[in-house]
Amino acid sequence: FMGWEEVTELVAGGVECQPHTVNHPILTRVDEGRARDEVAGSAREAAARTGRPARAFAYPNGDYDASTLDALRASGISMAFTMRLGPCPAAALRAA
């Protein structure tokens, strides 16, 4: 785990630091409103702290579903990372 001081140091060194949620819930296990708040809040905080837009996201535990994808889109996140092996085809994202 890192604090904002370490994140600031990484960003100053050219490393991109992107959001992961505010309180680290597994987004598929919380209601849609909380999932949206977790994604949006972490995107706002990361952008404010780093001075860079939040464009990518790492799913806690690698889990996502259709409502999680909606929350990312609503927050302007254009790419996300999971722990599932291999590339994820675009058709799978539309179906999730």
Query: How many Cα atoms within 13 Å fall on the side-chain side of residue 30?
Result: 18
Rounded Cα distance, 38 and 7, in Å? 19
pTM: 0.84
pLDDT at res. 88: 67
pLDDT at res. 90: 67
Q: Which residues of the chain have pLDDT under 50?
A: 95
Adjacent-strand bridge partners of 57: 80
pLDDT at res. 16: 93
